[in-house]
Chain A
Amino acid sequence: MLEAIILTVITAATPLLLAAIGELVVERSGVLNLGVEGMMVMGAVCGFAGTLTFGTPFAGIIAGALAGMAVSLLFGFATLTLVANQVASGLALTLFGLGLAGLIGEGFVGTPGLKLPALFIPGLTDLPVVGRILFGQDVLVYLSFALVAGVSWFLFRTRAGLVLRAVGDNHGSAHALGYSVVKVRYLAVLFGGACAGLGGAYLSIAYTPLWVESMTAGRGWIALALVVFASWRPGRLVVGAYLFGAVTILQLHAQPLGLGVPSQFLSMLPYLATVVVLVLISGNRRATRFNTPACLGTPFVPDR
Chain B
Amino acid sequence: MHLELVKRPEVSRVMMVGSPVLAVGLTVIFAAIVFALQGKDPLAGVYYFFLEPLTSSWSIEQLIVKATPLVIIALGLAVCFLSNNWNIGAEGQLTVGAITGSMLPVLVPEFASPATLPLMVLMGALGGALFAAVPAILKTRFGTNEILTSLMLVYASGLFLDWLVRGPWRDPKGFNFPITIAFNDAAIPSTIPIGPLYLNLSAFVALVLVAVLAVTLGRTLKGFEIRVLGQSPRAGAFAGFSARRMTLFAFMVSGALAGIAGILTVASEIGKLQPVISPGYGFTAIIVAFLGRLNPVGILIAGLVIALSYLGGEAIQTTMQMSSKVATVVQGMLLFFVLACDTLILYRVRLVGRAPKEPARA
Contact = CB atoms under 8 A, between A and B. Distances in A.
Interface string A191-227: 0000000000000000000000000011001001100
A121 interface: no
Size class of the contact patch on chain A: 35 or more
A100 B33 CA distance: 14
Given A82-B343, A268-B155, A271-B156, A95 B148 contact: no
Interface string B324-339: 0111111111011001
Given A84-B340, A271-B152, A282-B145, A95 B159 contact: no
A251 to B, nearest CB: 11
A89 B340 CA distance: 9
Interface string A157-175: 0000000000000000000
A98 B332 contact: yes
Contact of A97 (B142, B332, B342): B332
Contacts, number: 140
Interface in B147-172: 147-149, 151-153, 155-156, 159-160, 162-163, 166-167
A82 B329 CA distance: 21
Contact of A88 (B5, B145, B152, B339): B339
B287 to A, nearest CB: 7
A88 B290 contact: yes
A288 interface: yes
Given A95-B332, A275-B138, A278-B145, A301 B339 contact: no
Given A95-B287, A264-B163, A84 B148 contact: no
A184 interface: no
Given A100-B329, A221-B148, A271-B156, A91 B343 contact: no
A106 interface: yes
B349 interface: yes
B57 interface: no
Contacts of B213: none
B144 interface: yes
Interface of A: 34, 38, 74, 77-78, 81-85, 87-89, 91-93, 95-100, 102-103, 106, 217-218, 221, 224-225, 228, 262, 264-265, 267-268, 271-272, 274-275, 278-279, 282-283, 285, 288, 301
In the A-B complex, list the 7 residue pairs whose CB atoms are closest, starting with the nearest. Answer: A96-B332, A99-B328, A264-B163, A92-B335, A84-B339, A95-B332, A99-B329
Interface of B: 2-3, 5, 7, 86, 88, 138, 142-145, 147-149, 151-153, 155-156, 159-160, 162-163, 166-167, 283-284, 286-287, 290, 323, 325-333, 335-336, 339-340, 342-343, 347, 349
26 contacts: A78-B340, A81-B2, A82-B5, A82-B340, A84-B339, A84-B342, A85-B339, A92-B332, A95-B283, A96-B335, A97-B332, A99-B331, A99-B332, A103-B329, A218-B155, A228-B148, A264-B159, A264-B163, A268-B160, A272-B156, A274-B152, A275-B148, A278-B145, A279-B144, A301-B5, A301-B347
